[in-house]
Protein backbone atom coordinates (compact mmCIF):
# COMPACT_ATOMS: atom_id res chain seq x y z
CA UNK A 1 0.00 0.00 0.00
CA UNK A 2 1.33 3.43 -0.95
CA UNK A 3 1.11 5.74 2.07
CA UNK A 4 0.28 9.40 1.61
CA UNK A 5 0.07 11.53 4.74
CA UNK A 6 -1.50 14.92 5.28
CA UNK A 7 -1.11 17.23 8.30
CA UNK A 8 -4.31 15.81 9.81
CA UNK A 9 -3.08 12.20 9.75
CA UNK A 10 -2.82 10.67 13.22
CA UNK A 11 0.55 8.92 13.62
CA UNK A 12 2.01 6.98 16.55
CA UNK A 13 5.61 5.76 16.46
CA UNK A 14 7.14 3.14 18.75
CA UNK A 15 10.94 2.96 18.89
CA UNK A 16 13.23 0.43 20.53
CA UNK A 17 16.89 -0.28 21.08
CA UNK A 18 17.64 -0.84 17.40
CA UNK A 19 17.30 2.88 16.71
CA UNK A 20 19.81 3.76 19.44
CA UNK A 21 22.17 1.02 18.30
CA UNK A 22 22.65 2.90 15.03
CA UNK A 23 24.00 5.82 17.08
CA UNK A 24 26.55 3.54 18.73
CA UNK A 25 24.67 2.54 21.89
CA UNK A 26 24.57 -1.14 22.74
CA UNK A 27 21.26 -2.89 22.25
CA UNK A 28 19.08 -4.10 25.07
CA UNK A 29 20.53 -7.59 25.17
CA UNK A 30 23.29 -9.34 23.32
CA UNK A 31 22.58 -12.64 21.57
CA UNK A 32 23.98 -14.56 24.54
CA UNK A 33 21.21 -13.26 26.77
CA UNK A 34 23.44 -10.87 28.68
CA UNK A 35 23.03 -7.12 28.96
CA UNK A 36 26.45 -5.61 28.38
CA UNK A 37 28.01 -8.72 29.97
CA UNK A 38 25.71 -8.63 33.00
CA UNK A 39 22.76 -10.86 33.74
CA UNK A 40 19.57 -8.82 33.55
CA UNK A 41 18.69 -10.05 37.04
CA UNK A 42 21.88 -8.44 38.41
CA UNK A 43 21.40 -4.92 37.05
CA UNK A 44 17.80 -4.32 35.98
CA UNK A 45 15.45 -5.44 38.74
CA UNK A 46 14.39 -3.90 42.07
CA UNK A 47 15.84 -6.97 43.79
CA UNK A 48 19.23 -6.34 42.18
CA UNK A 49 19.24 -2.77 43.47
CA UNK A 50 18.46 -3.93 46.99
CA UNK A 51 21.21 -6.58 46.92
CA UNK A 52 23.89 -4.98 44.72
CA UNK A 53 23.32 -1.18 44.64
CA UNK A 54 26.98 -0.46 43.84
CA UNK A 55 26.94 -2.78 40.81
CA UNK A 56 23.65 -1.37 39.56
CA UNK A 57 24.88 2.20 39.89
CA UNK A 58 28.18 1.41 38.16
CA UNK A 59 26.28 -0.12 35.27
CA UNK A 60 23.99 2.88 34.82
CA UNK A 61 26.71 5.47 35.38
CA UNK A 62 28.70 3.84 32.58
CA UNK A 63 25.68 4.09 30.32
CA UNK A 64 24.99 7.69 31.37
CA UNK A 65 28.53 8.83 30.63
CA UNK A 66 28.37 7.10 27.25
CA UNK A 67 25.53 9.42 26.23
CA UNK A 68 27.96 12.31 25.86
CA UNK A 69 29.71 10.38 23.09
CA UNK A 70 26.69 9.66 20.88
CA UNK A 71 24.39 11.75 18.74
CA UNK A 72 21.12 11.24 16.85
CA UNK A 73 21.30 9.33 13.60
CA UNK A 74 19.32 9.82 10.35
CA UNK A 75 16.36 7.82 11.72
CA UNK A 76 16.01 10.26 14.62
CA UNK A 77 16.24 13.19 12.21
CA UNK A 78 13.56 11.68 9.96
CA UNK A 79 11.18 11.39 12.91
CA UNK A 80 11.71 15.09 13.65
CA UNK A 81 10.79 15.86 10.03
CA UNK A 82 7.66 13.75 10.43
CA UNK A 83 6.67 15.58 13.62
CA UNK A 84 7.28 18.96 12.00
CA UNK A 85 4.86 17.96 9.24
CA UNK A 86 2.16 16.56 11.54
CA UNK A 87 2.45 18.77 14.61
CA UNK A 88 0.26 17.59 17.50
CA UNK A 89 -1.00 14.68 15.39
CA UNK A 90 2.40 13.01 15.88
CA UNK A 91 3.21 11.00 19.01
CA UNK A 92 6.38 9.04 19.69
CA UNK A 93 6.54 6.29 22.30
CA UNK A 94 10.03 5.07 23.06
CA UNK A 95 11.39 2.16 25.05
CA UNK A 96 14.79 3.86 24.97
CA UNK A 97 16.15 5.79 27.94
CA UNK A 98 18.93 7.71 26.17
CA UNK A 99 17.10 10.94 25.31
CA UNK A 100 18.27 10.89 21.69
CA UNK A 101 14.79 11.70 20.36
CA UNK A 102 14.74 14.90 22.42
CA UNK A 103 18.32 15.68 21.41
CA UNK A 104 17.31 15.34 17.74
CA UNK A 105 14.42 17.77 18.21
CA UNK A 106 11.29 15.69 18.77
CA UNK A 107 8.84 17.15 21.30
CA UNK A 108 5.88 14.75 21.61
CA UNK A 109 7.91 11.94 23.17
CA UNK A 110 6.72 9.46 25.79
CA UNK A 111 9.59 7.70 27.58
CA UNK A 112 7.79 4.64 28.85
CA UNK A 113 10.89 3.08 30.42
CA UNK A 114 12.27 6.23 32.05
CA UNK A 115 15.37 8.32 31.40
CA UNK A 116 19.07 7.97 32.09
CA UNK A 117 19.19 11.71 32.68
CA UNK A 118 17.14 11.47 35.87
CA UNK A 119 17.06 9.65 39.19
CA UNK A 120 14.92 9.60 42.32
CA UNK A 121 15.19 8.75 45.99
CA UNK A 122 14.20 5.21 46.85
CA UNK A 123 13.00 6.45 50.28
CA UNK A 124 11.30 9.84 49.84
CA UNK A 125 10.79 9.82 46.02
CA UNK A 126 12.32 13.26 45.49
CA UNK A 127 13.57 13.55 41.92
CA UNK A 128 16.92 14.84 40.66
CA UNK A 129 18.77 15.33 37.40
CA UNK A 130 21.83 13.13 37.05
CA UNK A 131 23.96 16.18 36.32
CA UNK A 132 23.04 17.64 39.72
CA UNK A 133 24.07 14.70 41.92
CA UNK A 134 27.47 13.42 43.05
CA UNK A 135 28.22 10.56 40.69
CA UNK A 136 31.62 10.06 42.29
CA UNK A 137 29.85 8.24 45.12
CA UNK A 138 29.47 4.50 44.63
CA UNK A 139 25.83 4.91 45.68
CA UNK A 140 24.57 8.50 45.26
CA UNK A 141 22.39 9.72 48.13
CA UNK A 142 19.40 12.02 48.41
CA UNK A 143 20.17 15.57 49.53
CA UNK A 144 16.79 15.71 51.29
CA UNK A 145 16.76 12.53 53.40
CA UNK A 146 20.13 10.82 52.70
CA UNK A 147 18.37 7.78 51.29
CA UNK A 148 19.78 5.90 48.30
CA UNK A 149 19.09 7.42 44.92
CA UNK A 150 18.28 5.09 42.03
CA UNK A 151 18.28 5.66 38.27
CA UNK A 152 14.86 6.61 36.90
CA UNK A 153 14.64 3.44 34.84
CA UNK A 154 11.68 1.08 34.69
CA UNK A 155 13.15 -2.28 35.64
CA UNK A 156 11.83 -5.78 35.03
CA UNK A 157 8.85 -6.39 37.27
CA UNK A 158 7.91 -2.69 37.36
CA UNK A 159 5.06 -0.91 35.57
CA UNK A 160 6.09 1.30 32.60
CA UNK A 161 5.34 5.00 32.76
CA UNK A 162 2.50 6.91 31.07
CA UNK A 163 0.28 3.91 30.29
CA UNK A 164 -2.90 6.00 30.55
CA UNK A 165 -1.57 8.54 28.07
CA UNK A 166 -0.41 5.76 25.76
CA UNK A 167 -3.86 4.23 25.88
CA UNK A 168 -5.39 7.56 24.90
CA UNK A 169 -3.20 8.14 21.87
CA UNK A 170 -3.62 4.55 20.71
CA UNK A 171 -7.41 4.95 20.57
CA UNK A 172 -7.35 7.01 17.37
CA UNK A 173 -4.59 6.65 14.80
CA UNK A 174 -4.15 6.21 11.06
CA UNK A 175 -0.57 4.90 10.98
CA UNK A 176 1.45 2.97 13.56
CA UNK A 177 5.18 2.87 12.89
CA UNK A 178 7.41 0.42 14.79
CA UNK A 179 11.17 0.92 14.56
CA UNK A 180 14.03 -1.10 16.02
CA UNK A 181 12.04 -3.37 18.32
CA UNK A 182 12.10 -7.14 18.74
CA UNK A 183 8.42 -7.44 19.58
CA UNK A 184 9.09 -9.50 22.70
CA UNK A 185 9.15 -6.90 25.51
CA UNK A 186 5.71 -6.30 26.98
CA UNK A 187 3.61 -4.23 27.33
CA UNK A 188 5.27 -2.33 24.45
CA UNK A 189 4.94 -5.35 22.15
CA UNK A 190 1.19 -5.32 22.70
CA UNK A 191 0.82 -1.89 21.10
CA UNK A 192 1.19 -3.26 17.58
CA UNK A 193 -1.82 -5.63 17.76
CA UNK A 194 -3.79 -2.86 19.49
CA UNK A 195 -3.04 -0.50 16.60
CA UNK A 196 -4.05 -3.19 14.13
CA UNK A 197 -7.32 -3.79 15.95
CA UNK A 198 -8.05 -0.05 15.79
CA UNK A 199 -7.77 -0.15 11.99
CA UNK A 200 -4.41 1.59 11.67
CA UNK A 201 -2.00 0.82 8.86
CA UNK A 202 1.07 -0.73 10.48
CA UNK A 203 4.67 -0.40 9.30
CA UNK A 204 7.80 -1.92 10.82
CA UNK A 205 11.54 -1.38 10.31
CA UNK A 206 14.11 -3.62 11.97
CA UNK A 207 17.30 -5.55 11.29
CA UNK A 208 15.44 -8.80 11.98
CA UNK A 209 11.82 -9.83 11.69
CA UNK A 210 10.08 -9.03 14.99
CA UNK A 211 8.19 -11.64 17.00
CA UNK A 212 4.87 -9.92 16.20
CA UNK A 213 5.50 -9.67 12.45
CA UNK A 214 2.01 -10.95 11.57
CA UNK A 215 0.50 -7.65 12.74
CA UNK A 216 2.57 -5.58 10.29
CA UNK A 217 1.10 -4.53 6.96
CA UNK A 218 4.52 -3.48 5.66
CA UNK A 219 7.92 -4.61 6.94
CA UNK A 220 11.30 -3.22 5.88
CA UNK A 221 14.33 -5.25 6.89
CA UNK A 222 17.47 -3.21 7.42
CA UNK A 223 18.87 -0.14 9.15
CA UNK A 224 16.27 2.44 10.08
CA UNK A 225 18.75 5.25 9.37
CA UNK A 226 18.95 4.09 5.76
CA UNK A 227 15.27 3.21 5.23
CA UNK A 228 13.21 5.72 7.23
CA UNK A 229 14.40 9.05 5.72
CA UNK A 230 13.28 8.02 2.24
CA UNK A 231 9.97 6.63 3.53
CA UNK A 232 9.17 9.84 5.38
CA UNK A 233 9.90 11.95 2.31
CA UNK A 234 7.56 9.72 0.28
CA UNK A 235 4.82 9.84 2.89
CA UNK A 236 4.81 13.63 3.20
CA UNK A 237 5.19 14.26 -0.53
CA UNK A 238 8.76 15.54 -0.67
CA UNK A 239 9.75 13.19 -3.52
113 classed as catalytic: yes
User: Do residue 83 and residue 192 come from a single domain?
Assistant: yes
According to the model, what pLDDT value does residue 27 have? 59
Give the residue with greater pLDDT, 11 vs 28. 11
Regarding whether 8 and 34 lie in a shared domain, the answer is no
| Phi, psi at 37, each rounded to 5° | 70, 10
Angstrom CA distances, 15 to 2, 57, 145, 154, 192, stand at: 22, 25, 36, 16, 12
Are residues 127 and 61 located together in one domain of the fold? yes
Residues 209 and 234 in one domain: yes
Residues 215, 125 share a domain: no
Query: Could you tell me the CATH number of the domain that includes residue 132?
Result: 3.30.1600.10
**CB 13 within 8 Å of CB 92:** yes
Please give the C-alpha separations between residue 3 and each of 27, 168, 204, 209, 239, in angstroms, as whole numbers: 30, 24, 13, 21, 13
Given a cut of 90, whether residue 186 has pLDDT beyond it is no
Q: Provide the percentage of residues in the chain whose pLDDT is more than 90.
A: 81
Residues 85 and 129 in one domain: no
Has residue 50 got a pLDDT over 60? yes
Average pLDDT, the chain: 92
The pLDDT value recorded for residue 65 is 94
Q: What percentage of residues in the chain have a pLDDT greater than 70?
A: 94
Structure confidence at residue 32 as a pLDDT band (50, 70, 90): very low
Counting the structural domains of the chain, the total is 2
Do residues 182 and 228 share a domain?
A: yes
Same domain, 105 and 164: yes
- Tell me: the pLDDT tens digits for 112-158? 999 999 999 999 999 999 999 999 999 999 999 999 999 999 998 99
Averaged over 75-94, what is the pLDDT?
98
Which of 95, 127, 153 is the last residue before a domain boundary? 153
**Beta-carbon count within 10 A of 54 CB:** 10
pTM above 0.85, yes or no: yes
Residue 39 pLDDT: 77
Query: What is the predicted pLDDT for the residue at 118?
Result: 98
Cis peptide before 44 (omega within 30 of 0): no
Q: Stretch 47-73: mean pLDDT, rounded?
A: 94
DSSP, res 21:
H
Which CATH number characterizes residue 234's domain? 3.40.50.1220
Same-domain status, 131 and 207: no
Q: Are residues 56 and 128 in the same domain?
A: yes
Averaged pLDDT, 187-216: 92
pLDDT at 187: 84
Domain that holds residue 49: 27-69+118-153
Residues 178 and 207 in one domain: yes
The residue from 76, 101, 113, 162 that is catalytic is 113
Do 92 and 149 belong to one domain? no
Amino acid sequence: MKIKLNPKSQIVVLTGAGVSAESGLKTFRDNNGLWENHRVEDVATPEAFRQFPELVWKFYKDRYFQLAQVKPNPAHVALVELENFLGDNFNLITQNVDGLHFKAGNKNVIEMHGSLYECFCSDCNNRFLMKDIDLDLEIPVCSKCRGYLRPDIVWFGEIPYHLNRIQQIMSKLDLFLVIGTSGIVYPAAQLLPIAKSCGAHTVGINLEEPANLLYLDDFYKGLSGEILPDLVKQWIGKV
